[in-house]
Every structure is written in structure tokens, then in C-alpha cells.
Structure 1
Amino acid sequence: MKKLSVILSQHYRPISIAAILDVFQTVNIYYQEQTGLPFFEIRLVALESRDQAPSFHETYVPVPMGEVAQSDLVVIPAFMSGDISAYVRENAGFISWIRQQADKGAEVASCCTGAFLLAATGLLRNKRATSHVTAVKELARAYPDVIVDPDVVVTDDNGIYTSGGATSTFHLLLHILEKYCNRKTAIHTAKTFAIDMDRAQQSYFANWSPSREHQDELVCEAQQRMEDRFRDRLTVEEVIRGLPVSRRNFIRRFKIATGVTPIEYLQRIRIEAAKRMLEQKQENITGVMMQTGYEDAKAFRQLFRKIVGLSPKEYREKYAG
């Protein structure tokens, strides 16, 4: 029987813990029906003893981490919305325990923003990781030694796992079940919870907004020009017309300030506008293409898929009201 430890962190997101427990409990029931024995020994692990289990899952009584000698798999739930850095500090007591479990051979998985606590252990150093689409930039800033991949749904780097936001937790758990049990069990669980298996990207959940946090006023002016005229076929020369800067120096300054080139910035503005139009069914797809400054249908579809992870048609079918 595999020993599963689910971290009962401070400021955990209740739905995250509930999803983890429900999935593994469902697998245990499935195995009991098939073999007479559960597959996982499930434990909620707390910093200290708690008198009562969480009200959403009274089956499991939290165990103080000092009483858990060894785990095969440790799962860190998502945090509530708020100051993630403060939450990590409040859960610092778990850090050495998680590392000890890993040193003894345990694999470790984090759901959504739980990746911040996992990163604090050092187990993500030089490893691929992801998190909620709104949190990946902060994860990369706070832990520069982590290889953050904002688009993927699940990462698995030598037994250290992370997942994207919200329902990506289910995809992580299915991945773990396929690895620990078998694909048949993963498919059974996916059907039980009505989950689409093998989703590879979460980029189409992201809403990109231009950053103005830098202090470069010239770049701010250029950003405003691009945002005002994104429908036009702008060139870099037109963007900087009248500004006291050369083309080469502008491109360098722009990337330093925003993290992307002027062309990439303009592309993102246009694609975000296209997404909004597709969601609202304001135009047919050709009309959306024209309204956002594109004339080549093939190039528009390719760029849209590259940035969003879906074709314009697939995006409209998924999100149009």
C-alpha cells in the first residue's frame, strides 16, 4: 500500500484539499472492489495536532508531521488567494519535513500555488514547474533557480510534480494515478469526475495585460501608441516617430522594460483583442482577424494557436457566450 501524505498547510484552499482526498478515496474504493484492498494509505499531515479534521472531509484526522516517519508521495495543496509569500513563511515548519521525506525516497507534488511552498524546499531547483497562470511570473521572480513553464498543465521532473491552476489539479492527479497505478485506473477516475484527459496547455485560460510597472517614460509612450493603434499595420519606425531614440536602442530599452520585444508586445495586444471578440461573437473569424490588424488568415491562425493554445475556431466554441 502506498503511503500518501497530504499537507494540511496554513491558508490552504479547501477545494484543493477536497479534490485531492476525493480522487484518492475514489481510487481506494475502486481497488477495494477489484482486489479487496485500498491502494493508498491516506494521511492528512499538520504542523501540530488538531482536535478536529476539516469539516469538508471528516474521514481523515490530521496527524502531526512529527508522527509521520516516511511517505511514498507528499501532496501540497493550493493556497488561498492573498499574500503567497506570507503564506510560505507561515508554513516554514513544513519545509524541512518535506525535504526529509524526499531524502527518504518520497515523491513530492504541488497543486496550483502550492508550488511556492515546494520551491521553498529547494526541491524545484533547476527543475521545470508551473502554477496558476496569474502566479507564474511571481513564482519565477521569487525563485529564479526554478525553470517556470507558464503554459503547461502538469510538470513531472524526476518525481517532483507541479500543476497549473484550478482544475489542473485533477490532471496532475490523473498523471500520478497513471504512473502509480495504471492507465485503466486513471481513465476510470477521469470518467468518475468527468475530466478530459491529456490536456496539455493552460495558456488559453490566461488573460494577458500590458505591464506598466517600469519607470521608462519613453517606453510607456510607445506602449500607449501600440495600444491605441493595434489595428493598424504598425512598424517600429512608426511607433517611435518623434521620440528621441534610435530603432536599435528602442528595441533594447523596450525589452528591458517589458520583458518582450515591441513586435511580441503588439502581437499579444492583438490576440487579446481577438479573444474578447471571439468570446462575444462580435464578428466571424475573418472579421475578427481584420479587426485586429491581420490580413493573412494562415498567419493569424498560427499565431493565435501559438499564444493561446487553441485555434480561433476552437477558442470561440469553448468560450463564446
Structure 2
Amino acid sequence: MKHLTVLVPDIQTGPNTLSCIIGAYHIFTEANNYCIRQNKNPVFTIELAGVSGQSNFVNGLLSVMPQKEINSIEKTDLIIIPAILAAFKKVEGGNVLLVDWILEHYKKGAEVASMCTGAYILASTGLLDKKSCSIHWNAAANFKQLFPKVNLKAEKLITDEQGIYTNGGGYSFLNLIIYLVEKYYDRQTAIYCSKVFQIDLDRQTQSDFVIFNGQKTHGDEVVVKAQEYIEKNFTEKISMEELSSKFTVGRRNFDRRFIKATGNTPVEYLQRVKIESAKKELETSRKTINEVMYEVGYADVKAFREVFRKITGLSPLEYKNKYNKTGSAALI
């Protein structure tokens, strides 16, 4: 039987830390029970492990007492890292010991899966350098600054590379668990768990959940002013040549500084601002797709659809049908 370690951090924790721990333990336990009912051997011995005898969550309202101290586990096959606080700057406290322990056991052959902002702990090991990683879209800008060597894929729901798994934000960690159940058990067990826990099977993206807010804490005042100009005038035709001239910066240098500060080119930033405005209109109004398109500054239906799908993973009509409950979506 394989060994599954669900880590219990003792610091930098939040409400979702506990959700991830309980969710992983519950679903993998049910997968084992399903195997037994099918006259098969359970796949995992499941243990919660930490660096202290008790970890407190939600301002001490709830506590978890790990079954094992991490150094007492000589071998494990799969390590689950739960979410931690998104206001992450560097690994602290007992989490430093968790980082060292994860790195040691990965080198021994264990696979590692991080849930949501658990990617901060995983990235602190160095194992994510030059590898793909997903994280909650709201933590993406901070993560990029702290771990520039990681190939961040915030639009992805799940990444899977060289025995390292990551997933997007919130309760999408449930999708990662189902993914791992299929990988370690089989498709039939994954389908069973998805039905019992009512989790969408085979969901691949978190793009349509993203709420775009331009990152302005980067310290480049010229770029902040350019962002504010774009956000105020996005419905108009904006020339990036004229915009860079407006702030007396050469175009190539302007693009370079903009990418460094925001993670987007100026053109991409403008597109995201336009699409975020379009999303809000599609969610709340009875306007047609064409009306919304024109309001946010697009005149070409094909171009609007392509950019909208690239950013959200859905067509404008699919998005409206999914999120607007004021009435049926209007066709173009």
C-alpha cells in the first residue's frame, strides 16, 4: 500500500488551509472505502503530518492534531500541501521545516501536490523552477514577483509536470483531488468520488472565474499612470505609440517596463480591461453581445470573440448564459 501525507502547517494559515486538509482526507478515505467495497485493496495509508502536536486555525476557533510528526515519516509516495495565506512574503516558522522535508522526500521519489496558495510553500523548495504552476488568480501577481523562475499558468486549473501537481484557487482543490484519485486509483473510482462529492469531472480551466484588477503596487509610477489612463479611456482607440510618448518613454522601453510591472504588455492590459468591463455587462444587463462589444471599444465581432475566449476560456454567449440570470442571452 502507498503512503499519502497531508501536511498540516503551523503558521501562515487561513480558513482554506483547513478546508484543503479535511477535503483531501475525506475524499481519499472515501476512495479507499470504495476500493474495499469493490473487493480491491485500498491504495493509500493516509496520515496528517506536521511539525507540532497541534495547529490552530481561524483565530484559534478550530484546531488540528496531526497524527505524525514529519520527521517520523521515513517514506511517503504522495505529499499534499494545503493552501496558506495569500499575503505571502517568505516562508516562516515551522513551514521552513516543511519545505526542507518536501524537498528531501521528492528526491526520494515522492510526488507532490499543492493546493491553491500552497504553491508558495512548494515554490520555496525550488522544485517549481522552470516548471508550470497554477495558483489562485488573485495571488498571481505576488507569486510572479516572489518566484520569477516559475512558469506561472494562472489560467490553468491543474498542472502536472515531473511528479509535481498544482491547482488554481478557492475550492478548485477538489478538482485536483479527483484528478489524483484517477491517477492513483482508476477512472471508475474518480467518477464515483465526483458523484458522491458533486465535483465537476474533467474541468481544466479557472479563466472564467478571474476578476481582473490591475496590479499597481509595483512601484513604477510611469506604468501606474499609464494603467490609470488605459482604465479611464479603454472605450476609445488608444495608440500605444502615443501613450508611450505621452509619458516621454520610448516604445520599447515602455513595453519592457509595463511587462515587468504588470506581467502584461500594454496591449494585453488594454484587452483585459476591455474584457473585464464586457464580463460585468454580460453578467448583469440584458444587452446583446453586439451592444456590449461596441461599448467596450470593439468593432469586429471575430476579434472580440477571440480575445474574450482567450482570456475567459468561454465565448461571450457562453459566458452570458452561464452567469446572467436576468433573462436568456441574446444572440447576435
TM-score normalized by the length of structure 2? 0.86
Q: Shift of the alpha carbon at 1:88?
A: 4.3
Paired residue for 1:49? 53
Give SS of 2:148's match.
coil
Q: Shift of the alpha carbon at 1:20?
A: 0.5
Post-superposition Cα deviations, 1:171-215, rounded to whole Å, max 9, x if no partner, equal 211221111111111111111111221111112211112233355
Paired residue for 2:329? none
How many residue pairs match? The answer is 318
The AA in structure 1 aligned to 2:7 is I
Given that residues 5 and 48 in structure 2 are in contact (C-alpha distance below 8 angstroms), is that contact kept between their aligned partners in structure 1? yes
For structure 1, the residue ranges without an aligned partner over 5 or more in a row are none
Matched, 1:176 2:192: no
Q: Shift of the alpha carbon at 1:296?
A: 1.1
Matched, 1:117 2:127: no
Query: C-alpha separation between the residues in 2 aligned to 1:267 and 1:173?
Result: 34
Give SS of 1:135's match.
helix
Query: C-alpha separation between the residues in 1 aligned to 2:78 and 2:43?
Result: 12
Paired residue for 2:288? 284
Matched, 1:62 2:67: yes
Provide the identity percentage: 39
Bigger Cα displacement from structure 2, 258-267 vs 161-170: 258-267
Query: C-alpha separation between the residues in 1 aligned to 2:38 and 2:114?
Result: 29
Counterpart selection for 1:209 from 192, 210, 213: 213
The AA in structure 2 aligned to 1:70 is K
Post-superposition Cα deviations, 1:194-242, rounded to whole Å, max 9, x if no partner, equal 1221111112211112233355555444433322221123333554676
Paired residue for 1:261? 265
Superposition pairs of residues 229-268 of structure 1, within 5 angstroms:
229-236=233-240, 239=243, 244-245=248-249, 250-268=254-272
The 1:216/1:95 distance shift into structure 2, 3 A limit, reads: closer
Q: Shift of the alpha carbon at 1:76?
A: 0.7
Counterpart selection for 1:135 from 139, 145, 169: 139
Give SS of 1:84's match.
coil
Query: C-alpha separation between the residues in 2 aligned to 1:95 and 1:229?
Result: 45
The AA in structure 2 aligned to 1:150 is A
The 1:75/1:242 distance shift into structure 2, 3 A limit, reads: closer
RMSD over aligned Cα atoms: 2.7
Query: C-alpha separation between the residues in 1 aligned to 2:244 and 2:129?
Result: 41
Paired residue for 1:78? 83
Bigger Cα displacement from structure 2, 230-239 vs 297-306: 230-239
Give SS of 1:185's match.
helix
For structure 2, the residue ranges without an aligned partner over 5 or more in a row are 326-332
Q: Shift of the alpha carbon at 1:87?
A: 5.4
Given that residues 134 and 159 in structure 2 are in contact (C-alpha distance below 8 angstroms), is that contact kept between their aligned partners in structure 1? yes
Query: C-alpha separation between the residues in 2 aligned to 1:51 and 1:57?
Result: 6
Query: C-alpha separation between the residues in 2 aligned to 1:5 and 1:196?
Result: 25
Query: C-alpha separation between the residues in 2 aligned to 1:235 and 1:188?
Result: 53
Query: C-alpha separation between the residues in 1 aligned to 2:224 and 2:148?
Result: 26
